[in-house]
Chain A
Amino acid sequence: METISNLWLGLETALTFWNLTYCMTGVLLGTAIGVLPGLGPTATIAMLLPVTFGLPPVSALIMLAGIYYGAQYGGSTTAILVNLPGESSSVVTALDGYQMARQGKAGKALATAAIGSFFAGTVATVLLAVFAPPLADLALQFGPAEYFSLMVLGLVASVVLAHGSLLHAFGMIILGLILGLIGTDVNSGTTRYTFGFPQIADGINFVVVAMGVFGLGEIIGNLENEATRTAVLKSVTGLMPTREDLKRIAAPILRGTILGSMLGILPGGGAMLASFAAYTLEKKVSRTPEQFGKGAIEGVAGPESANNAGAQTSFIPMLTLGIPSNPVMALMIGAMIMQGIQPGPSVMTEQPVLFWGLIVSMWIGNLFLLVLNLPLIGLWVRMISVPYHFLYPAILVFCAIGVFSLNNATFDVYLMAIFGFLGYIFRKLDCEPAPMLLGFILGPMMEEHLRRAMLISKGDTMVFLGRPISATMLILAFILLATVLAPAVRQKREEAFQEEG
């Protein structure tokens, strides 16, 4: 009963004219920066932070939140259309989404992403409203040992991302891990592999790597090969998903939502894993796993739902505990502090209008996004029919602006260029960049949590098996690894037998 009266309070707050306006402004702005490659919500929110001083706290947070999930939405548009994932979460969307676009099914991919995100957003909002406090307590159960095991599971799962050679995938993951080593060691404060460049003392930014390897690499590849890029324009069939498509995506959306909601709650980088995990799950349960990476609609539906659900539930630790789960949440906490609100467990009781108003506004914002994006799909799809010699300079410029805006540093732009060249080489060698990116994201986190767990346990490795959550995840990782390796090993043996015979 209390929940309903709370939601009513939230509805009253969120539906005032000004709050609706700020919500809409936020999601519009978010979609726009999400669509522009490289410009992310972190930079935008940082730039807009001073503007929000003059607003009432609720309106300010409603707008900032709108930018955040609006950008998640917009980010998938660029990932699908031009293979440019601006956020770690849209890396996997690019895998099958871009393939769908190349087959002329960009509209379908975009619609799937929109519908999946809306559904996930709705479920996650309800979760947030009903279960926020107990879920936050669950997140606290996750210590260094649990996070380490979660990362191990994630890393093992990333092998499944590859649809080509397993050896290439392993190689790329390891390359990603090595790149992730660059920067300051958390335990000792010593810098590693920076070669005297203080600009990379904090490590290489994910966006720099993703923009370079995916975006620039793709551009160079396309410029070289006239045939591949004209293929995109040939036939654009069916903007909207058919009834049959809807049937195909229903289950992946549901699974993605559940997975994303759960992982989003974990402040130590769980949300990052959401879309990767959903992709892995879909590929595992699919009867046609060979379709993945070649334009499987499930490969868009699952991760997109997971990514949006995770984005919403990552508000749970922020709102209930005052714990930021990602840089955007850290900025939101900064915004609250500047408004004179001390984030923490008391926000819910002391600022019910803010808490519930924000939650309800998220659902309204998701509705806005759906209404906004479905009609826009036709327009987006036409965007890729813009002649490539007009499109690629624009993409390049936006990539450069976006990467510059991360740290206001030109160094990052040069670094992106280097990764662009690497990305081109990877294409030539048939090495997929997605496993590398996952290794790059997970490696440093895994190391950090491993060493912290070891510090706390005084070097006792049994902590990983002695703690139930951690042990469960390690077992899952082991099973997953076995199922990945078993067919490969069996095949090898069969080949060997055949040769002998």
Chain B
Amino acid sequence: MKSLKLLSAAVLGIAISAPAFAAGYPEKPVTVVVPFPAGGASDTTARVTTQKMQESLGQPIVVENKPGANGSLGAGQVAKAKADGYTLIVGSIGVYAINPVLYKSLPYDPTKDFDLLTVAVRTPNVLVANPNFPANNVKELVEHLKKNPEKVTFASSGAGSSDHLTAALFWQKTGTTGVHVPYKGGAPAITDLIGGHADVSFQNLGAVSNHIKAGKLKLLAVTAEKRNPTFSDAPTMKEAGVEGVEVYSWQAVAAPKGLPADVKSKLEQSLISALNSPDVKGKFNDIGFEVVANTSGQFSDFLNQEISRWKTVVETGKITADQ
């Protein structure tokens, strides 16, 4: 009995000291924090991407869901984690670009606390309406909104969500008003839209594409730069006469600030090659996500643009959501 204990102590000792001799990152499993519940867009992005990354990194990657407070709980924890490449975060536009302009006290600052790695995927938002809603295109919607100020209900997936801010941006750019009706997440908002309890909404294309195909929702416009190949009849906002409402929902990967250079480059390589691999690309395309896989520099520039744009929207629309 005693010798067994000794033996196990010895084995344990070797196991603990082993990494000191091994070279190169990663030597142990990597944790990817998703600050939202399992099953959502950030979660899907993380799981599909990391499955491929495991092959090139040669270590298991564990996805950990730490939901709470619009993603800021998990993001705050990652910001404080050790910058050794063993803790990463996959977060949404909300985590990186909207929370910082919306909340006064946030446990992290995306521009200062993170080493930004890459924007993994993006998906255009679409303006959809209940099929019985009188307006059939953006022009008619704008006229309708002008004739009926503060009447038309805009469903969103929550106060301060990207679709809420997109609606606010749309009102500001067209000089119209509407009633914002927030829900707890996108799914109940879409349900009420189909049921005719709410009128219009900006939603991720992937979440509503089947409802559009089935005729349960009416597609008025896409908020992308180009038309969508699946719904080529639907104009972009610009084509429909509304400038400056190009909005994508995006998911990006980051790590705590201060990664060692070799770890950072290895992570970037692994991420980019995983995202660009045909099977991962195919999987994302199937669910309406477009792979971006840009460099950390491009991500950083893009983030600054996004933050300043949403800051203007929030200030102009006097949108508040104080923590």
Contact = CB atoms under 8 A, between A and B. Distances in A.
A, B in one complex: yes
Interface string B182-215: 1110011011101111100000001001110110
B214 A346 contact: yes
A49 B38 contact: yes
Given A345-B210, A407-B67, A46 B38 contact: yes
Given A408-B64, A456-B179, A143 B321 contact: no
B65 interface: yes
Given A337-B44, A407-B66, A141 B159 contact: no
Contacts of B206: 337, 342
A238 interface: no
A134 interface: no
A334 B40 contact: yes
A53 B198 contact: no
Contacts of A184: 69-70
Interface residues of A, number: 52
A142 B102 CA distance: 32
A346 B208 CA distance: 12
A201 to B, nearest CB: 4
A375 interface: no
A140 interface: yes
A344 B69 contact: no
B210 A142 contact: no
A452 interface: yes
A443 interface: no
Given A140-B191, A345-B216, A456 B160 contact: no
Nearest to B195: A140
B73 interface: yes
Given A268-B188, A338-B47, A407-B66, A344 B214 contact: yes
B73 A334 contact: no
Interface in A327-348: 327, 330-335, 337-338, 340, 342-346
B197 A186 contact: no
Interface stretch (A187-195, A295-303, A432-440): A187-195
Interface string A125-137: 0000000000000
Contacts of B190: 323
A346 B160 CA distance: 31
Contacts of B26: none
Interface residues of B, number: 58
Contact of A186 (B64, B184, B287): B184
Interface in A389-426: 407-409
B67 A448 contact: no
Contact of A198 (B48, B63, B76): B76
Contact of B66 (A142, A144, A408): A408
Interface in A447-467: 448, 452, 455-456, 458
B191 A267 contact: yes
A321 B73 contact: no
B187 A324 contact: yes
Contacts of A46: 37-39, 65
Given A143-B195, A321-B191, A337-B206, 9 more contacts: A50-B47, A140-B194, A187-B182, A189-B158, A191-B323, A201-B68, A267-B188, A334-B43, A458-B179
16 contacts: A46-B38, A188-B159, A189-B158, A189-B320, A198-B76, A330-B39, A334-B43, A335-B39, A337-B287, A340-B283, A342-B287, A344-B211, A344-B213, A345-B211, A448-B184, A456-B179
8 closest A-B pairs by CB: A334-B39, A344-B210, A189-B321, A189-B159, A143-B197, A201-B69, A46-B38, A140-B195
Interface of B: 37-40, 43-44, 47-48, 51, 63-70, 72-73, 76, 102, 107, 150-151, 153, 158-160, 179, 181-184, 187-188, 190-192, 194-198, 206, 209-211, 213-214, 216, 283, 286-288, 320-323
Interface of A: 45-46, 49-50, 53, 140-144, 184-191, 198-199, 201-202, 267-268, 317, 321-324, 327, 330-335, 337-338, 340, 342-346, 407-409, 448, 452, 455-456, 458
